[in-house]
Amino acid sequence: MRIFVDANLLFSAAKSDGAIRQLLQLLRRAGHKVVVDGYVLEEARRNLAHKFPAGVQVLEALVPTLELGGTHPDNLALVSKLALPDKDKPVLLAAIAAHCQALVTGDQTHFGPLFGQRVGGVDIHSPRTLAEQILAGPRTRK
């Protein structure tokens, strides 16, 4: 599966060796492609440089493990009716353009209302729902 990762997850993965970095590692080990584009990569770099400069080096070490998608298309009509800020629309468009099946973001404020929905063929997840649905697999009841 191709999974697009938002800048806030890249930031978290670079800032600490916690749950998000482990999630990215588990996804790759399970054979999933973790995809970003220049837009989210630059946002993560910029935020790390400003808020946690030591994380920039960690991010740069993560980059070779990621698939870099092309720049997002200018087809804002596809997401124009969604209640997303203009800064977040390119993220969703990039996931669609990169033919990803999922977009994972920690942005509950803007993407939260879309969690669990499919837009343009992309399922939108929080890190938790992605881990539960993709890594844990179907659960059986006892």
**Full-model pTM:** 0.90
- The pLDDT value recorded for residue 77 is 62
Please write the tens of the pLDDT for every residue from 44-100. Answer: 999 999 999 999 999 999 999 999 987 665 666 666 677 788 889 889 999 998 999
- The pLDDT value recorded for residue 37 is 95
Res 5 pLDDT > 90: yes
The size of the chain, in residues, is 142
Q: Kindly state the DSSP code that residue 141 receives in the 8-state scheme.
A: -
What CA–CA distance (Å, rounded) separates 24 from 40? Answer: 15
What average pLDDT does the chain have?
90
What CA–CA distance (Å, rounded) separates 76 from 11? Answer: 26
- The pLDDT value recorded for residue 141 is 44
Torsion angles phi and psi, residue 79, rounded to 5: -120, 10
What CA–CA distance (Å, rounded) separates 83 from 60? Answer: 32
Res 134 pLDDT > 50: yes
